[in-house]
Amino acid sequence: MPVPEPIRDTSDAELASAVILGGAAGNSAAEAELCRRFGRRVRLYGRRRLQDSAVDDLVQRVMLIVLAKLRAGQVDAPARIDSFVLGTARFVTRELSRAGSRDAPLDQTMPVPLDETRSDPLAVQSLSACLESLAGRERSVVALTFFHDQNATEIGVALGMEPGHVRISRYRAIARLRTCMGLGPEEVVA
Amino acid sequence: MTHDCDTPVPLTELIAYHAGELPVGDAERIEAHYFGCASCSERLETLSRLDTGVCALVHAGGLMAGSTAAMVQHARARGIVVREYRTDPGEHVQCTAGPEDQLLVTRYGGLQGITSVDVNFRGAIMGTDQVIEMQMIDMPVDQATGDLVLIAPAKLNQSFPALEIEVRLTAASPEGSRQEGPYYYHHRPWSLLDDDERRRRAGR
């Protein structure tokens, strides 16, 4: 099955089917795009569960398993490739969480550099200006959320706020930051 | 390329997921959605970029915000060079900002039972009749210490001339507004200080 051009407009299921049909010979364009696309989602998944240093490992291991299974025709439902990748990410995360399991070296590399599964860093100066435009309390909530990794309950205790009030403040601040940084369409600010 | 989603995950839920606040079942539902949704995974990635960006900004000593003593400890534990001064109402502090400092922390005590203050800075530039004034509204008080904990870029303070600073706080309470302070800071540029004076102004 040929991969429609441009490949970025191809659906996840079409990409998976193209890799399956490429078989052992491979379909390098489809495989690369599949890794770019799902590598980012696996990275988001791993960030919540693993130390930063282990996330690259997770991305590579998951995508190599997925590609191997697709090439071997062992994925029954390419239309549900998203579920297959998520299930693999859950399995590999459990493996990596076990002591010593990260020692096993990888004998292959992904068809794309790991950098292509990472998002671009934000311009710090622009972010600083956007943060300055927030109300003082919102800025504090953002700092405690992202830098101190505190949840709404913890921030509420620290600043003497109800958790629900923290969530509203956090939501407003993040929605404003997204808009200010040009990071996508405006979200409704409650 | 734009991706559309007929059933987008609300931003509030994506934020709660990112913050690790959701019950397992809800987190799994969101994961099942964004693994198959380019639009929602991009929105979640945006949160991740903001997270990384804010951390980078703090590491670069570029954030000015109300904070907590626990967050300052967290910054120190991450290797950020912090200079910290604490005053109670009416107290005077001799201060400076060293060349290696990344964050300058000023703590204003005596605020037990208060959750929010408005801050008024007034800095007289020594040897001139010029005055720097700054106001911050609704700054949260750290409930664990009863202090207002302000973090500021050390670079900003490194750029200051010799200043005589007076800080007054206004706290809202059910009985009406209440004044706290003043707190006095005597800032001198690092380059004008000898070693003894630098040690005297080392802070905490």
Using one digit for the tens of pLDDT, what is the confidence trace for B9-18? 999 999 999 9
Residue in chain B nearest A120 by alpha carbon: B49
Residue A3 is predicted with a pLDDT of 47
For an interface test with B, the pick among A44, A132, A151 (most B C-beta atoms closer than 10 Å) comes out as A44
Decide: B55 and B77 in contact? Cβ < 8 Å. Answer: no
Tokens of A68: 């191997």
Of A139, A177, A187, the CB nearest to B65: A139
Mean pLDDT over all residues of chain B? 94
Domains of chain A: 7-117 (no CATH), 124-180 (1.10.10.10)
- A8 contacts B143? CB cut-off 8 A: no
What counts of helices (H) and strands (E) characterise chain A? 8, 0
B118 vs A27, higher pLDDT: B118
Domains of chain B: 11-58 (no CATH), 61-200 (2.60.40)
Indicate the DSSP class of residue B181: E
Whose CA is closest to B178, among B107, B85, B113, B91?
B113
Half-sphere exposure of residue A166, counting CA atoms within 13 Å on the CB side?
25
Distance from CA of A25 to the nearest CA of B (A): 27
Whose CA is closest to A67, among A106, A120, A93, A102?
A106
For an interface test with B, the pick among A37, A130, A131, A147 (most B C-beta atoms closer than 10 Å) comes out as A147
Q: Is the pLDDT of residue B2 over 70?
A: no
Q: Is the pLDDT of residue B62 over 80?
A: yes
Residue A156 is predicted with a pLDDT of 98
What does the pLDDT look like over B156-184, one tens digit per residue?
A: 999 999 999 999 999 977 778 889 999 99
Distance from CA of B157 to the nearest CA of A (A): 17
3-state secondary structure B52-84: HHHHHHHHCCCCCEEECHHHHHHHHHCCCCEEE
CA–CA gap between residue A43 and residue A110 (Å, rounded): 14
Terminal CA-CA length for chain A: 47
- B36 contacts A124? CB cut-off 8 A: no
- A44 contacts B51? CB cut-off 8 A: no
Distance from CA of A100 to the nearest CA of B (A): 25
Residues of B in contact with A125 (CB under 8 A): 62
Number of A/B CB contacts below 8 angstroms equals 161
Sheet holding B176-187, edge to edge: B92-95, B176-187, B163-173, B116-125, B131-140
- B32 contacts A83? CB cut-off 8 A: yes
- B38 contacts A183? CB cut-off 8 A: no
CA–CA gap between residue A166 and residue B45 (Å, rounded): 22
Residue in chain B nearest A36 by alpha carbon: B38
Q: Is the pLDDT of residue B131 over 60?
A: yes
Residue B1 is predicted with a pLDDT of 41
Residue A186 is predicted with a pLDDT of 62
Q: Is the pLDDT of residue B104 over 50?
A: yes
Helix (H) or strand (E) holding B99: none
Residue A102 is predicted with a pLDDT of 58
Whose CA is closest to B190, among B182, B201, B180?
B201
Is residue B6 packed enough to be buried (19+ CB in 10 Å), middle (13-18) or exposed (0-12)? exposed
B4 vs B8, higher pLDDT: B8
Residue A139 is predicted with a pLDDT of 97
- B140 contacts A171? CB cut-off 8 A: no
CA–CA gap between residue A46 and residue A59 (Å, rounded): 8
φ and ψ of A183, to 5 deg = -100, 40
- B34 contacts A44? CB cut-off 8 A: yes
Residues of A in contact with B140 (CB under 8 A): 136-137, 140, 159-161
Residue B195 is predicted with a pLDDT of 92
Q: What is the mean pLDDT of residues B27-43?
A: 96
Strand partners, B135: B120
CA–CA gap between residue B67 and residue A66 (Å, rounded): 44
CA–CA gap between residue A49 and residue B20 (Å, rounded): 10
Q: What is the mean pLDDT of residues B17-23?
A: 96
3-state secondary structure A139-180: HHHHHHHHCCCCCHHHHHHHHCCCHHHHHHHHHHHHHHHHHH
- A147 contacts B71? CB cut-off 8 A: yes
Has the ipTM of the complex gone over 0.90?
yes
B69 vs B204, higher pLDDT: B69
Amino acid type, A41: R
Sheet holding B148-153, edge to edge: B65-67, B148-153, B103-108, B82-87
pLDDT tens-digit profile, chain A (190 residues): 444 557 778 899 999 999 998 887 778 899 999 999 999 999 999 998 998 889 999 999 999 999 999 999 999 899 999 999 999 999 999 999 886 655 566 767 888 899 999 999 999 999 999 999 999 999 999 999 999 999 999 999 999 999 999 999 999 999 999 999 998 766 655 5
Decide: A34 and A62 in contact? Cβ < 8 Å. Answer: no
Q: Which residues contact A187 (CB under 8 A, 6 or more apart)?
A: A175, A178, A179, B11
